[in-house]
Structure 1
Amino acid sequence: MLEVPPWLWVVFAATVVVSLAVDLLAHRTAHVIGFKEAAGWSALWVGLALLFGAVVFVVLGAAAGTEYTTAWLLEKSLSVDNLFVFAVIFAYFRVPRAYQHRVLFFGVMGALVFRGVFLTLGVAVVSRFTAVLFAFAAVLFYSTYKLLKGDEGGFDPGRSIALRVLRKAIPVRDEYAGTHFFVKEAGKRVATPLLAVVAAIETADLVFAVDSVPAVLAVSDDLFVVYTSNAFAILGLRALYFLLAGLLDRFHYLNTGLAVILGFIGVKLILQAAHKTISPGVPEIPSPVSLAVVVVVLAASVILSLRRPAPPQPDTSRRNGD
């Protein structure tokens, strides 16, 4: 485990809090996020993540800095799947575009809390029971199989556990009330559909954590590295969604690339576990190699998607003979 100075934790926490506050103030008035605005915020989040990575390099060393960068890039790439699900949820609940940023803001806050809990538990388990890495590898191989098969299980927002619990706990009205989560009707407090959307977003993040937590633990078993890299990747999710909205279908090779990355990380986990539990002679995959693989595969997926567009889907809305 790294000896992280307490002041570095304080710097990280302050950076996250200030970033969220600035983001909230900048978007206090509901409006549609355009491409130019999303591009500016995306550049800001990426720059902030890389700047913090440079601090990690200087303070904790090159190994920790490489692990942070690899984990951040890995989480960033895996989060693209979240963007598809966000689009499905917004379409399912017919969320007005002007309200979508507010939903994602609270979704990010919940994700920061839940990822912190999962990663803390994951690091604790791995440090005590190294053999659990074999189980994590199996999860990643199964995810690889689903991605290559094109069967990701889907996500039905209307059947999410969080949404069902919410509807049992409090009445949910059918109409939106601006950006409000609660309103009073006939003297009773009821939820608006916007709260239901946040519940669905949080459920989706819990589902995706099944893949991302084992994957990032393959890069590092240090809590500071895995959590800070996750946090900075999550912070940029909202801007990335609005930046890529309407373009997600163009990156049709991305799922294949993610499958390759998850399969590679699964192999890395097996070698890592075997090195620690079976024999020190089993070679491990160095972090710089992992970073190079993630970068190359992601770049290849995007370039191939742009150079070889997906064939147009047949129009099934028209009946035969029309």
Structure 2
Amino acid sequence: METIGVWWMWLVFGLLVSAMFAADLFLAKGETRVSIRKAALWSVLWVALSIAFAGALWGYLDQTLGRQIANEKAVAFLTGYLVEKSLAIDNVFVWMMIFSFFAIPIHLQRRVLLYGILGAIVLRTVMIFAGSWLIAEFHWLLYLFGAFLLITGVKMAWFADHETNLAQNPLIRWIKKHYPVTEHLEGERFFVLRDGMRMATPLVLALILVEFSDVIFAVDSIPAIFAITTDPFIVLTSNLFAILGLRAMYFLLADLGGRFSLLKYGLAAILVFIGAKMLIVDWIKIPVWLSLSAVALALAISIAASLMRKPELQAGKRS
């Protein structure tokens, strides 16, 4: 696997991620509700840290490997970060639906999200290293990833207005069939003892669905970043920087979910574009800066169109 990452860069990044997650955990301790203002400030901080990392990476590469490689890798990082961040918005809306279905109060949502994001960090790290090795060994997998993203994008646009029924979710039905579940929440506990029987609570079901949803979204987003660069250091750093800001972004969007009714179409366009790019990679090379521009444009148009949409039309879609 060809990468710009040397051992000390991996070490520094690992320490940075650990410190950022610990800070998020410590500062969230004792919170009962995160205000929109605080969530917005944290979101800005996470984005600023990501941009600062990109700047530091560019500066180092500019001094060691030259301006061309520095520009290429920095733009690849920013593109991967933007792709992951935009796709993560859809993941956030799924989390809203999960918490609403299980009637999880806001102070317990924080607990579930912390475990969910930690699981996402571990999962994506494993998937990225495995994907990097597989692509290095089997180049034709890029075509498979491309076709998958293309189909996924079309499917996302086609079913954009489809409402998911969690009551019929096969995973939840299987768990309830094979493991006793309490009817109500038991505070922050995931499991309780009832008459000598260990029972799961709805809180653990919510956590399982949050983790499962991240698996599904990782299957989309990680191949999408491999379409931009196959350097595992860039793929991992851009992915995890986007993941670390998800908790703040969730609370920022928690009261605004209905305002972005057309976002799915923008995300679908991004997946179709990236999927097509992977399918033609050996014949037509699309510059990374053009990919960044296309992703940003699709995201901006879908968000702007959603905000301009009449409120009654959005309400009609949700009813």
Determine the structure 1 residue equivalent to 2:28.
27
CA displacement 1:216-268 (0-9 Å, x = unmatched): 11011111111111111111111111101121221222122112211111121
**CA contact 1:85–1:155 (8 Å) conserved in 2:** no
Q: Secondary structure at the match of 1:53?
A: helix
**CA contact 1:162–1:203 (8 Å) conserved in 2:** no
Determine the structure 1 residue equivalent to 2:240.
231
Give unpaired runs (5+ residues) of structure 2.
Answer: 62-69
Determine the structure 2 residue equivalent to 1:41.
42
Determine the structure 1 residue equivalent to 2:229.
220
d(CA) in 1 for partners of 2:184 and 2:59?
52
Structure 1 counterpart of 2:96, one-letter code: A
d(CA) in 1 for partners of 2:43 and 2:160?
30
Of structures 1 and 2, the one scoring higher in RCO (CA 8 A, sep 6+) is 2
What does 1:1-322 correspond to in 2, within 5 Å?
1-60=2-61, 61-151=70-160, 155-158=164-167, 160=169, 163=172, 167=176, 171-272=180-281, 275=282, 282-309=283-310, 311-314=313-316
Deviation at 1:143, TM superposition (A): 1.5
CA 1:147–1:168 in 2, change beyond 3 Å: closer, same or farther? closer
CA 1:126–1:154 in 2, change beyond 3 Å: closer, same or farther? farther
d(CA) in 2 for partners of 1:251 and 1:164?
30
CA 1:77–1:314 in 2, change beyond 3 Å: closer, same or farther? closer
Q: TM-score, normalised by structure 2?
A: 0.89
Deviates more, 1:76-85 or 1:19-28: 19-28
Structure 2 counterpart of 1:197, one-letter code: A
Give unpaired runs (5+ residues) of structure 1.
Answer: 276-281, 318-322
**CA contact 1:31–1:98 (8 Å) conserved in 2:** yes
Give aligned-pair identity as a percent.
Answer: 38
d(CA) in 2 for partners of 1:165 and 1:122?
30
d(CA) in 2 for partners of 1:164 and 1:189?
18
Q: Secondary structure at the match of 2:227?
A: helix
CA displacement 1:81-118 (0-9 Å, x = unmatched): 10111111001111011111111111101111111122
d(CA) in 1 for partners of 2:221 and 2:21?
23
d(CA) in 2 for partners of 1:7 and 1:20?
20
Q: Secondary structure at the match of 1:190?
A: strand
d(CA) in 2 for partners of 1:236 and 1:53?
16
